[in-house]
Chains A and B, each alone.
Chain A
Amino acid sequence: MIRRRVVGIATATFLATSGGIFVQLVTGNDPALVSAAAKSTAVASTSSSASTSSGASTSSGATNSGPTTAVTTSAS
């Protein structure tokens, strides 16, 4: 009886945790991706117009509906 109860509680806990993670991923709220997006936004706030700079910064032209891979431009 006790063994059945322990198995039941363990199974319920597992399903609840997995379900929560699944729902979070399906709704696009992957914690890792949220961290990356927030980081990008924070960097964007340091951008300045026509100014002399010494560190990396970000310029934004508009909003998007999903991530794309960064491309690097340099003189060839």
Chain B
Amino acid sequence: MSSGLQVRGLYPTRTSTPAEPHSKIEAIERFPCFGGSCAVLVTGSGPAGTAREAAAKARQSLLVWHGQFSRFEHDSELSRLNRDPRETVAVGPVMSRFVEAALSAAAMTGGLVDPTLIGELDGVGYGHHFDSQPVPLPRALALAPRRAPGGPSQAPRWQQVAVDRGAGTVTRPPGVCLDSGGIVKGLFGDLLAGTLAGHESFAVDAAGDVRFGGAGARLRPIQVASPFDETVLHVFELVHGAVATSGIGRRSWLDAGGRPAHHLLDPATGRPAFTGVVQVTALADTGVEAEALSKAALLSGAARAASVLTKGGLVVYDDARFDVIDPPAASEWRS
């Protein structure tokens, strides 16, 4: 679990006047988690208490879940599940939700988003926390092999995994391991949204996966950062839903053979995918769906990526050009 500086605070979104209602004040928690920066923003009292209490509770939940689902923590529930020699293993309710979500994402994307590639990730050098200096994206792209779309595994292990949420068990051949990946970040946003939706407005930013909404139906500006220089490429303004961004800009390294590597693998080859797309931001109704769409679009390659983003998004290509796919009509995005 991350244990660095944790910044907490309560900041007004505008100058407060005596006539201004308390519901206009947005409580903000910012803290390191999931190997990146996370934030929870809440306006107005609701099921989780005051805005400040709600933001603090959500922050605590994210930190606890991170410890529970990190494959880099030896004693996390995920690590214990992955090394359990039994075929059927009892798991907690959030773990069963995660496995269900991961299998759903794999099925929805035809196996492109495969949660069982841990051995392959270890093989390309991602068996521990990424804490080294990343290879600059232009250099990684210059060294990368010929661009090609990804594809599903010919022997998909995820189809051997089953979950019984009622019984609280996961069944799989021992040795088939699950990677929490980005799907779990989308799921956490969805879980927190169940409570925070009763507040005036909220946003949960789980290191790039953003879930937002609220009873006040306020617009939330969502800025998409460039993978090349972190400048803002575009701003989506939406009332509720989810946004997820997947890309190879932040965590690229050279493997033992001097080849550029990153954590988004092509299931067909088990190797880092270089598809002509370096980053995809997907809009969707839920965090799990947004995460699945963003990864599937990136793996689909430059020619097909935009068509995968049926609810809108943004695609950044190798040469830094980008396409914006606007979301559907406003009425479809209202609560």
Interface residues of A, Cβ cutoff 8 Å to B? 25-26, 30, 33, 40, 43-44, 47-54, 56-76
Complex: how many Å from CA A68 to CA B244?
Answer: 19
Q: Which residues does chain A contribute within 8 Å of B28, judged by CB atoms?
A: 69
B250 A53 Cβ-Cβ under 8 A: no
A70-B222 contact given A62-B330, A62-B334, A75-B248, CB 8 Å threshold: yes
Q: Which residues does chain A contribute within 8 Å of B35, judged by CB atoms?
A: 76
Q: Which residues does chain A contribute within 8 Å of B324, judged by CB atoms?
A: 47-51, 53, 57, 59
A76 B326 Cβ-Cβ under 8 A: no
User: Which of the listed residues A30, A58, A69, A72 has the most CB atoms from chain B within 10 Å of its own CB?
Assistant: A72
B236 A74 Cβ-Cβ under 8 A: no
A68-B223 contact given A50-B325, A61-B237, A74-B250, CB 8 Å threshold: no
Complex: how many Å from CA A20 to CA B212?
Answer: 37
Contacts across chains A and B counted by CB atoms under 8 Å: 167
The stretch of B113-121, B162-170, B201-209, B268-276 that contacts the partner chain: B201-209
Residue in chain B with minimal CB distance to A32: B15
B220 at the interface (CB under 8 A from A): yes
A68 B221 Cβ-Cβ under 8 A: yes
B17 A68 Cβ-Cβ under 8 A: no
- Please report which residues of chain B, range 257-272, place their CB below 8 angstroms from some CB of chain A when the two chains form the complex: none
- Please report which residues of chain B, range 34-68, place their CB below 8 angstroms from some CB of chain A when the two chains form the complex: 34-36, 39, 41, 43
Name the distance in Å between B335's Cβ and chain A's nearest Cβ.
Answer: 10
Q: Which residues does chain A contribute within 8 Å of B227, judged by CB atoms?
A: 74-75
A61 B333 Cβ-Cβ under 8 A: yes
B26 at the interface (CB under 8 A from A): yes
Complex: how many Å from CA A49 to CA B323?
Answer: 9
Q: Which residues does chain A contribute within 8 Å of B15, judged by CB atoms?
A: 25, 30
B19 at the interface (CB under 8 A from A): yes
Q: Which residues does chain A contribute within 8 Å of B101, judged by CB atoms?
A: none
A67 B19 Cβ-Cβ under 8 A: no
A70 B221 Cβ-Cβ under 8 A: yes
- Complex A-B: 29 CB contacts under 8 Å: A25-B15, A30-B14, A30-B15, A47-B324, A52-B322, A53-B233, A54-B321, A56-B231, A60-B330, A61-B239, A61-B333, A62-B238, A66-B24, A66-B218, A68-B43, A68-B219, A69-B13, A70-B222, A71-B203, A71-B221, A73-B205, A74-B224, A74-B225, A74-B247, A75-B245, A75-B249, A76-B35, A76-B207, A76-B208
Q: Which residues does chain B contribute within 8 Å of A58, judged by CB atoms?
A: 221, 234-237
Complex: how many Å from CA A12 to CA B40?
Answer: 47
B232 at the interface (CB under 8 A from A): yes
Name the distance in Å between A58's Cβ and chain B's nearest Cβ.
Answer: 4
A59 B248 Cβ-Cβ under 8 A: no
A44-B237 contact given A30-B15, A60-B219, A62-B333, CB 8 Å threshold: yes
Residue in chain B with minimal CB distance to A57: B234
B152 at the interface (CB under 8 A from A): no
A67-B14 contact given A47-B324, A53-B324, CB 8 Å threshold: yes
Q: Which residues does chain A contribute within 8 Å of B210, judged by CB atoms?
A: 71, 73
B230 at the interface (CB under 8 A from A): yes
